[in-house]
């Protein structure tokens, strides 16, 4: 039985392997449920020093990827574990010890999302005195192709172009106040393995960007992920997010995806309402675990 696990910084050369591992850990049909390749792909927009702080990758003694942890919010850690090691307490204990050190240093948390279900990491968290956080994240999923409404006359939906960078970043900030996105980071994102220009969509009115949606393919014939999607506050409730996301559905289906997933906190009511209106259903809940108050 495997016992030795090591963590080392993610190099550019290994990024493709790690993204492929995340895809391979997803079920090939039905809903994906761990941290997905698209989540990591979106995180790879950051500069190397920030990536080193945010992305923690564990390997087994044979060089297989064993776990991927994304610490992309202060004090937080979202964890995906190779299904072969979901019940491995050696790996779970090593991951938790490492995260406790890192999250203590980062402050603001800590909250840790283990893979859903009764795995070793959840058991280790409970044994270490962590409790489930009441704020639940919904994992929403819908099959592809499936029905989508006819697109409205506006916006025009098309793929992102290099000349859009400044505007696209500005609309990200309008949709997600406090966003860390910069044109340079957008440029880096476009070089991430798995980024596909035809799945990076914008909605425009008079060539001004009003909405966006970036989609990431999952395993062949499996579930894709939307990360991120948003509409400028000045254009909401006019079908702009629906129009870009519906175009993402069409393109993903043409590329062989059989489903599409998205994660959002239950507290983000507009997003939950949007995804339900687009035919998504909640297939799983993700819970974060916090240290129990003394």
Ligand X SMILES: CC(C)(COP(=O)(O)OP(=O)(O)OC[C@H]1O[C@@H](n2cnc3c(N)ncnc32)[C@H](O)[C@@H]1OP(=O)(O)O)[C@@H](O)C(=O)NCCC(=O)NCCS
Minimum Å gap between C-beta 44 and ligand X is 19
Interacting residue ranges for ligand X, rule: CB under 6 A: 175-176, 211, 229-231, 236-242, 262, 264, 268-271, 273-274, 277
Q: Indicate the residue among 10 and 246 with the shorter CB distance to ligand X.
A: 246
Q: CA 155 → CA 152, 204, 253, distances in Å?
A: 7, 5, 21
Distance from CA of residue 251 to its chain's centroid? Answer: 19
Minimum Å gap between C-beta 238 and ligand X is 5
Q: Indicate the residue among 188 and 236 with the shorter CB distance to ligand X.
A: 236
Q: Indicate the residue among 30 and 265 with the shorter CB distance to ligand X.
A: 265
Minimum Å gap between C-beta 83 and ligand X is 26
Spatial distance between the Cα atoms of 176 and 77, rounded to a whole number of angstroms: 20
Helix (H, G, I), strand (E, B) or coil at 258: coil
Q: Indicate the residue among 87 and 236 with the shorter CB distance to ligand X.
A: 236
3-state helix, strand, coil in the chain (%, to 5): 35, 30, 35
Minimum Å gap between C-beta 233 and ligand X is 7
Minimum Å gap between C-beta 137 and ligand X is 10
Minimum Å gap between C-beta 115 and ligand X is 20
Nearest to 95 by CA among 75, 121, 71, 113: 121
Minimum Å gap between C-beta 17 and ligand X is 28
> What six digits make up the tokens of 16?
């493709």
Spatial distance between the Cα atoms of 192 and 273, rounded to a whole number of angstroms: 31
Spatial distance between the Cα atoms of 87 and 153, rounded to a whole number of angstroms: 51
Spatial distance between the Cα atoms of 22 and 16, rounded to a whole number of angstroms: 10
Q: CA 56 → CA 51, 143, 282, distances in Å?
A: 9, 31, 28
127: left (phi over 0), alpha (psi -120 to 50) or beta: alpha
C-alpha dihedral (274, 76, 48, 163), degrees to nearest 10: 20
């Amino acid at each position: 039985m495997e016992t030795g696990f090591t963590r080392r910084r993610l190099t550019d050369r290994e990024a493709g392997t790690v993204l492929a591992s995340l895809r391979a850990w997803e079920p090939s049909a039905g809903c994906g449920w761990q941290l997905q390749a698209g989540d990591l792909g979106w995180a790879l927009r950051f500069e190397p020093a920030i990536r080193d702080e945010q992305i923690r990758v564990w390997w087994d003694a044979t060089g297989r990827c064993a776990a991927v942890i994304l610490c992309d919010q202060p004090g937080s850690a979202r964890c995906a574990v190779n299904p072969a090691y979901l019940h491995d307490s050696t790996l779970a204990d090593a991951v938790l010890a490492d995260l406790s050190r890192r999250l203590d240093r980062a402050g603001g948390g800590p909250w840790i999302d283990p893979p859903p279900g009764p795995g070793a990491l959840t058991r280790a968290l409970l044994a270490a005195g962590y409790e489930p956080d009441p704020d639940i994240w919904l994992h929403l999923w819908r099959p592809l192709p499936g029905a989508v409404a006819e697109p409205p006359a506006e916006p025009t939906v098309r793929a992102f172009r290099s000349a859009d960078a400044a505007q696209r970043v500005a609309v990200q900030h309008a949709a997600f106040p406090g966003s860390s996105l910069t044109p340079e980071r957008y440029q880096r994102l476009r070089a991430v393995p798995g980024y596909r220009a035809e799945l990076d969509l914008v909605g425009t009115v008079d060539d001004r960007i009003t909405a966006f949606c970036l989609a990431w393919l999952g395993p062949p014939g499996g579930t894709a992920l939307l990360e991120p999607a948003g509409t400028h506050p000045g254009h909401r409730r006019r079908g702009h997010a629906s129009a870009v996301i519906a175009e993402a559905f069409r393109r993903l289906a043409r590329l062989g995806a059989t489903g599409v997933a998205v994660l959002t906190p239950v507290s983000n009511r507009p997003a939950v309402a949007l995804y339900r209106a687009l035919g998504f259903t909640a297939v799983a809940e993700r819970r974060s675990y916090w240290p129990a108050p003394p």
